[in-house]
Amino acid sequence: ENFGWLSPAFDPTSDGTYSIYLAAFDQAGRQVTRSDITVVVGDGGATVPEPASLALVGIAACGLAVTGRRRRNRA
């Protein structure tokens, strides 16, 4: 039994990014301090952008360039 102290999903041997939340309380039950910790194990499960997203960014950049060129030619 873990008494809520440690999530059973936490496996420090697996690559990934883990968030740990620590808090301290006074005798009245009020939170007096806290700390958020992020632990990266291995490469952190780095994501690779999908080709469709990259294509969309490229199309948007081309659209901005064309719009800028049209405005410059009108002036």
Residues 41, 46, 43: CA angle, nearest 5 degrees: 30
For the chain, 75 residues long, the average pLDDT of each consecutive 10-residue run is: 56 76 86 86 67 85 87 76
Q: What is the pLDDT of residue 40?
A: 80
**The whole model's pTM is what?**
0.37
Helix (H, G, I), strand (E, B) or coil at 48: coil
User: What does the alpha-carbon distance between residue 54 and residue 6 come to, in Å, rounded to a whole number?
Assistant: 38
